[in-house]
Amino acid sequence: MRCIVDYTTDPYQNLATEEYLLTTQTEPVFRLWRNARAVIVGRNQNTLSEINRAYIKKHDIPVVRRLSGGGAVFHDLGNINYTFIDRYVPGMDTAGAFARFTRPILEVLNTLGVKAALEGRNDLVTDGRKFSGNAIARYKDRILMHGTLLFSASMEDLSQALQVKDRGKTRGVASRPRKVCNLSEFLPAQMTPLHFMELIKEHVTGSLTGSWSDKPLQPQEQEGIDTLHNKKYQTFAWNYSRQYQWEAVRKERFPGGNIEVCFNAPQGKIEKIKIYGDYFFFSPTEEIEEALLGCPLTREDIAQRLSPFVWDDYFRNVPPEGLYQLFL
C-alpha cells in the first residue's frame, strides 16, 4: 500500500489529487489530508441549493465539487480527511465498502477510548452525534472511499455555511446533517490534529497484512494534478454547473438519498434534463440523462429507455418506479 500524508491545504488541489490518484494508480493507496476552510459538495448536488450564499460570500469560503456522491460538507483545518483507494471487487455494494474502509478508523478511535460506530448510510457517530461523513467514487476497476473526521472544526462556520432545509416539509435535496461533534471533546486536551493524523497512519499501516511505503506525490504526478486543478476543479462550470430555466422541478427523498429532477419537455418529449441529489453511485448520472433526451413523458417510454442500465450502479437504494414517477 502507498501511504501519503499530504500537507497541502488548498481545497481545489486536494480534490484534484483525489481524482488523479483514483484514475492513475494501480496499487492500494491510503491518504491523509486537510483543507483550509471550504464547502465541498457532492458530485450530483445542486450547489446553489446546498450553500448559504451570503455567508460564503461574506467570509470568502471556496466551494468545490468532489468526484464522489453524498451530501455537502464543511472543511477547515480542524477537520481531517482520509482516503482509501483499492481494487473494486465485482458485486461490492456501497454498504460493504463503507464497512470495510471505515473499520480501521473505528478501531483507532476505540484504542483511544472513543466508542464509535458506522450508522445510517455513511456516518460515523459517537455519543449519538456525527463526526464523520463518507462517500464513494468508482473508476473502472478501482474504488475510492474518502471521509471526514471532525476533530476541532469551527461549528459556527459549519452550521452557517451550509444551507439546511426542513426535509419533512419540502422533501427537497438539501443536505440535512444530524447533530455533530468534534472528536477533541473525547480525546486528551493536548492532542492536535497533526498528532491525531499520525496515530491514524500508525494504526492503518500497522494493521496491514501486506507491505506499505511512504511515497509522497512525485513531480510528474504533481503536473497531472495541476492540470486537473486548473482545467476542472477551480472552474465555475465544474463547481456550480450551468443553471437553466427549468419548466419542471420535482423532488423526492428515497432510502438511498434525495433526488431532484429538472427537465424541459415543451412538446411532451424531454429536451433538457439534469438530475441532482446526494445519492450514491458507481456509474455517472450523465449516462442516464443522455438516455432520456428525446424520450416521451410516459412511464412506459421512460422505463424502456432505462431498461438497459444496471440500476444499482447509478442509483443505490432508489427504486426505479420512484424515479419514473418524478417525470409524470
Q: For residue 197, list its beta bridge partners.
A: none
DSSP 144: E
Q: Domain end: 185, 205, 240, which one?
A: 240
Q: Is 254 exposed, middle or buried (0-12, 13-18, 19+ CB in 10 A)?
A: middle
Give pLDDT, residue 92.
86
Mean pLDDT of 107-116: 96
236 and 302 within one domain:
no
118 and 81 within one domain:
yes
Give pLDDT, residue 172.
39
144 and 54 within one domain:
yes
H or E element in which residue 30 lies = strand 29-33
203 and 273 within one domain:
no
Identify the domain containing residue 234 by its residue range.
2-240
301 and 170 within one domain:
no
97 and 31 within one domain:
yes
Contact at 8 Å (CB) between 149 and 125? no
Please state, rounded to an integer, the average pLDDT across all residues of the chain. 93
Give pLDDT, residue 207.
83
Q: Domain end: 177, 210, 240, which one?
A: 240
Number of structural domains in the chain: 2
170 and 302 within one domain:
no
37 and 69 within one domain:
yes
213 and 94 within one domain:
yes
pLDDT of residue 113 exceeding 50, the answer is yes
Give pLDDT, residue 298.
97
Q: Domain end: 204, 220, 240, which one?
A: 240
Contacts (Cβ under 8 Å, ≥6 apart) of 11? 35, 36, 38, 40, 62, 64, 75
Give pLDDT, residue 169.
39
Mean pLDDT of 128-133: 96
Contact at 8 Å (CB) between 50 and 41? yes
Give pLDDT, residue 72.
96
Mean pLDDT of 162-173: 54
The Cβ-side half-sphere exposure at 117, using a 13 Å CA radius, reads 4
Instruction: Read off the pLDDT band of 171 (50, 70, 90).
Output: very low
264 and 189 within one domain:
no
235 and 99 within one domain:
yes
Mean pLDDT of 191-205: 96
Q: Which residue has the cell 433526488?
A: 259
Contact at 8 Å (CB) between 118 and 99? yes
Helix extents (H) in the chain:
11-24, 47-50, 53-58, 94-111, 155-161, 167-170, 193-206, 219-228, 236-240, 285-292, 299-306, 311-314, 320-325
Q: What is the pLDDT of residues 48-93, one digit of tens each?
A: 999 999 999 999 999 999 999 999 999 999 999 999 999 998 888 8
Amino acid at 179: K
What's the CATH code of the domain at 90? 3.30.930.10
Instruction: Read off the pLDDT band of 242 (50, 70, 90).
Output: confident
Instruction: Read off the pLDDT band of 259 (50, 70, 90).
Output: very high
DSSP 283: S
Mean pLDDT of 287-297: 97
Give pLDDT, residue 244.
80
What is the rounded distance in angstroms from the CA atom of residue 142 to the CA atom of residue 138? 6
Q: For residue 138, list its beta bridge partners.
A: 143
Give pLDDT, residue 177.
52
Q: Give the residue, 255 or 177, on which the prediction is more confident.
A: 255
25 and 138 within one domain:
yes
Contact at 8 Å (CB) between 25 and 47? no
